[in-house]
Structure 1
C-alpha cells in the first residue's frame, strides 16, 4: 500500500471498519484510537444530555451507617431504615425509558444455571426499550461519537450491535443459556450463594419496596451533590449477600447503557476514566470471553462504577 493511501485509510485500519473501497480494515484494538481526553469529553456530553435523570427532591436516601473497609464483608445489618426514603415514582417511572426498563426486569430468573427462555413478547419488550432509548439525546451523542471514530457506519448497525452485546445470551453455569450483560448488570444474579452483578438503582429500589432487599450499610458516597451520584452499598437479596454493590443513583436507563457502552467499547477489561459534571469517575468493564456473536463480537460480562 502506498504511503498516501496508508495515511488516508489509517482511521479505518485502527478501528477495524471497512476501507473506502469496501475491504475490511485491520482488527487493531479500538481502545488505542480513543484518547482519555476524548472519553472524558464525550462522557460529559452524555451527562449533560441526560434530561430524564432525577433532580433534587426526586430521590431521598437514608444512608445511615458507613462501614469501614474491614467491615464490608461482614454482612451485618447496621441500618434500621430502608435505603430509599422517597422516590418520585409518578414523575420518574412514567418516563418512557424508565417504563420500558421496568417491563424488562421481571423477565429473568436470578439463579445462575437456570436457562433463560426469551419469549416473543419479551423480545418485543427488549426492542421497545431500545426504541425508546434511541430517541434520546444521550444515545444520539454516543452514536455520533462512535460514528466519528469509525466504530459503526449507521445507527441501525449500532442499534443491532448494542442489542447483541447487552441482550445476547451466554452460559455462566451448567452449560445453558442463563445470562446476558443486561441481566447481570441491570437485574442481578445469584451465583455461588452470593449476589453477582446487580448495579441498577431502579431494580434495587423496586426490590426494597417489595421487601425482597434488606439494606445493610454503605461504604462510598460520591462527591456529587445532585444526580446521578455514585454510591456503594451492602445489602441482602433474600438471604444472599452483596458485600460491595456500586451504583449510579438517579441516572436514567439510557445514561447507564450509554456510559457503560462507551467504556466497554473504548476501554474493554480496563478501568475507564470519565468526567461527570466536572468531577472524575471510573467505570470498570469486563468482556465475556467464553463465547461471542457474529464475527467475533464481544458480549458484556459486567460493567459498573468503581467505588474507592
Structure 2
C-alpha cells in the first residue's frame, strides 16, 4: 500500500510539471522552496561575478514609475563609472560571451545567418559556462529532478532553446532568446529585450547608448544588483529595461534557464544573497523545435 501511494505521488508530481511546462520537456515538479534554495546556491558559487573593486556604477536620477514612458534624459554622466575590463572580461565565460554580441542584426524582420565560425563561438560559450560551478550545480539539480540525464543532453537543449532562430517580424528567422535578452533588438521603432549589463556597458562606452535614469534599484549592496533603466540605444528608446548588474554570463544564463524550465510564462521567485527577486520568463509560442519544445522568448528581473 505504501509503495502504491509513493508511486502515485511521484507520477502526480511528474504530470504536474508536464502540465505547467511550456513544452514536451518534463521532469518532476520543482517546488518554490527548491527554487529559493537552488538560486541561493547558484548565487554563492558564482565566483566570476563582479566585486566593488572591479565595477562601479553611477545610478543618478530615480524616477517614479509614472514617468517611465517619458523620454527625458535626466543623467549627467555615464551609468558605468568604472569597469575593470582587464580582469573581468579576460575571464573565460565573459570573453566567450562578448564574442557573441556582434553576431546579430538588431533589426527585427532581417534574417539572421551565422558563419561556421560564429556557430563555433556559440559552442565555445556553452562549453565555457558548462564548466563553471554555476551551471554544474544547475545541471545536477535538474538531473536529480529527471529533466535531463546527461550534461550533453542538457547542453544540446540549451543551444536549441536559447540560440535557435524564430520569427518576430515579416516571417523572417530574425530572432532568438539569446539575441533578444542579451543583445537587444529593435521592433516597431523601439528597443525590445536588452537585459544584459555587459552589452549595456560596451555600447555606452562606444557612445552608442545614452543612459537616462532608473525607476528601480534593488536592495543589494554588492553584485549582482538589479536595476531597471531608461535609455536610448543609438536613436531608439527603452522605457524600462531591467537587468542584473555585475553578474557573470553563466549566472544570468543559469537563473533564466532555471525559471524558464520551472515557471515558464510566470513570475519565478529566486533567492539572491538573502533577498527574494522575481524573474519573468516567456516562451515563444509560434514555432517549436524537437517536436513541440518551445524556444526562450524573453527573461528578465521583474522591477516593482
TM-score between both structures, scaled by the size of structure 2 = 0.94
Distance 2:17 2:139 in 1: 22
Kindly indicate whether the alpha-carbon contact (under 8 Å) linking 2:180 and 2:297 is maintained by their aligned counterparts in 1. Answer: yes
Matched, 1:271 2:267: yes
Of the three residues 9, 20, 25, the one matched with 1:29 is 20
Distance of aligned partners of 1:185 and 1:67 in 2 relative to their CA distance in 1, 3 Å threshold: same
Distance of aligned partners of 1:9 and 1:96 in 2 relative to their CA distance in 1, 3 Å threshold: farther
Shift of 1:296: 1.3
Matched, 1:203 2:194: no
Specify the alignment match of 2:189 in structure 1. Answer: 193
Shift of 1:29: 3.3
Distance 1:65 1:32 in 2: 45
Shift of 1:295: 2.6
Matched, 1:44 2:40: yes
Kindly indicate whether the alpha-carbon contact (under 8 Å) linking 1:14 and 1:28 is maintained by their aligned counterparts in 2. Answer: no
Of the three residues 124, 136, 139, the one matched with 1:140 is 136
Shift of 1:188: 0.3
Q: Which runs of 5+ in 1 are unaligned?
A: 17-24
Of the three residues 73, 98, 107, the one matched with 1:102 is 98
Distance 2:138 2:3 in 1: 31
Distance of aligned partners of 1:6 and 1:161 in 2 relative to their CA distance in 1, 3 Å threshold: farther
Kindly indicate whether the alpha-carbon contact (under 8 Å) linking 2:279 and 2:299 is maintained by their aligned counterparts in 1. Answer: yes
Distance of aligned partners of 1:265 and 1:47 in 2 relative to their CA distance in 1, 3 Å threshold: same
Matched, 1:238 2:234: yes
- Root-mean-square deviation (CA, aligned residues, Å) is 1.9
Q: Which runs of 5+ in 2 are unaligned?
A: 22-26
Specify the alignment match of 2:125 in structure 1. Answer: 129
1:45-194 pair list within 5 angstroms = 45-194=41-190
Listed one character per residue, the Cα deviations across residues 20-63 of structure 1 (whole Å, up to 9, x for unaligned) are xxxxx994435981111100000001000100000112111111
Kindly indicate whether the alpha-carbon contact (under 8 Å) linking 1:15 and 1:149 is maintained by their aligned counterparts in 2. Answer: no
Listed one character per residue, the Cα deviations across residues 90-148 of structure 1 (whole Å, up to 9, x for unaligned) are 11000000000000000000000000002111100000000000100000010011001
Across the two proteins, how many residue pairs are aligned to each other?
299
Kindly indicate whether the alpha-carbon contact (under 8 Å) linking 2:28 and 2:147 is maintained by their aligned counterparts in 1. Answer: no
Shift of 1:239: 1.1
Distance of aligned partners of 1:58 and 1:285 in 2 relative to their CA distance in 1, 3 Å threshold: same
Distance 1:26 1:116 in 2: 33
Distance of aligned partners of 1:292 and 1:5 in 2 relative to their CA distance in 1, 3 Å threshold: farther
Kindly indicate whether the alpha-carbon contact (under 8 Å) linking 1:14 and 1:29 is maintained by their aligned counterparts in 2. Answer: no
TM-score between both structures, scaled by the size of structure 1 = 0.93
| Deviating 4+ runs (over 6 angstroms) | none
